[in-house]
Structures are given as C-alpha cells and as structure tokens.
Amino acid sequence: MRESNWARLSCRSIRSHYAESVYAGLTQAYYMKQDWKDFYASSDKAVALNPDDASILVMVGWVIPHALNPSDPDASSNLDKAERYEKHAIVVIGTMPKPASMTDDQFAQTKTSLLSQAHSGLGLVYFRRQDSNDSVKELQQATQSSAAPDPTDFFVLGLGLQNLSRYSEAADAFNRCGQIPGALQDRCKQSADAAKKQAR
C-alpha cells in the first residue's frame, strides 16, 4: 500500500515537472511571437507549478511594464504583479544552487543576467508609476551589471534623471543609449543634447 502511494506521488511529481517544462517552453515561444494573451496564460500555469522559477518570474515581470496598456483597467494590478514577480525572483536568484552542468563562470553570468533583467523590469514598473527615484535606482543597477544593456533602460533612466533635475547624469544616460544602434538611437542623441542644455 505504501509503495503504491509512493508510486502515485512519484508519477504525479514527474508529470508536474514535465508540465512545468512544457508551460515554460510555451511561455518562451509566445514571447517570441509577441502573443501576449497566450504568453500570460502559459506563464501563469508555469508559475503555479513552480513559484520559484526565476527565469519565468523575471521574464513576466519584465514584459508586463513593457507591453502595458495604461488605459487597461487591470494596468495597476498588472504592475503590482510585475513588481511582486521581480522582487521574488531577486530573492530566488540569491539562493539558487549551481547546476552540475554549469561551470562557475557560466553560473555567475546566468545569475548576473537574470538580476540585470529583474532590475530592468522593476525600473520600468516604477517609471510607469511615475516614481522616478526608485526607477532610477533600479535602472542604474540594471545597466551597471548587464554585459549588453538594453537601450530602453538607458532612455528611461535618462527620463527619470531629468525628472529629478539631475541633467548631467541624464545626458550621460542618453549618450550611452545613443551609442547603441536601433530605433531609439536618434531620439537618445536628441535627448542628450537637450539634457546638456538643461545642465548649463
């Protein structure tokens, strides 16, 4: 009888593990397609099966403020969810055991990358809430620790610093954004020039 119960529990655990992997994979796939409805549905199921999946927590917490529609009646609660996910992810990342398949350097790089994205997500959550002080603190952490910073982080960091009347620092953030090829490059260069004039 005990053996039968153990077998059922074991099978349930295996099914749960595979289901989590499937939903995590679907979350990644829907992210690539920018299918946000299915992205959120799959990620909710993945997190329900494993509330400590740092990669899913970080990704969802990062996507919510980036894809947010401010006129959505759930916008505020979605930002709360993003903040909760990123803060929990930061705690989880701090206690993650190193997988046997990873070298020390690979593990350190993975943790640094996840932490950078978590701080990036938090920075945009606070920016969406017009909390420039906390937004700047988070985005400074995100851009300092990332090997390949997101130009959006530098741009939003610059806006936050402008709101705090820290114009020289804002110009520096916009300059760094302007050095990265992409859709924001020209806008960041113009913003850098404007911030320099404000700093005089």
Kindly report, residue by residue over 24-60, the tens digit of the pLDDT: 777 778 778 888 888 888 889 889 888 999 999 999 9
Whether residue 151 sits in one domain with residue 193: yes
- Give yes or no for a contact between 82 and 64, defined as CB atoms under 8 angstroms apart: yes
Candidates 42, 10, 41, 38; CA nearest to 25 is 42
Distances (CA, A) of 75 to 51, 70, 78, 81: 22, 6, 5, 10
128-156 pLDDT, tens digit per residue, is 999 999 999 999 999 998 878 899 999 99
Structural domain boundaries enclosing 110: 57-199
Same domain, 39 and 128: no
Q: How far apart are CA 123 and CA 137, in angstroms?
A: 7
For the chain, how many structural domains are there in total?
Answer: 2
Q: What percentage of the chain has pLDDT greater than the value 90?
A: 66
What is the reported pLDDT for 82? Answer: 96
Reported pTM: 0.85
Q: Does 105 lie in the same domain as 43?
A: no
Cα separation of 161 and 153, whole Å? 12
Which CATH number fits the domain that encloses residue 70? 1.25.40.10
Q: What is the Cα–Cα distance from 93 to 108, expressed in whole angstroms?
A: 11
Please indicate, yes or no, whether residues 39 and 65 belong to a single structural domain of this protein.
Answer: no
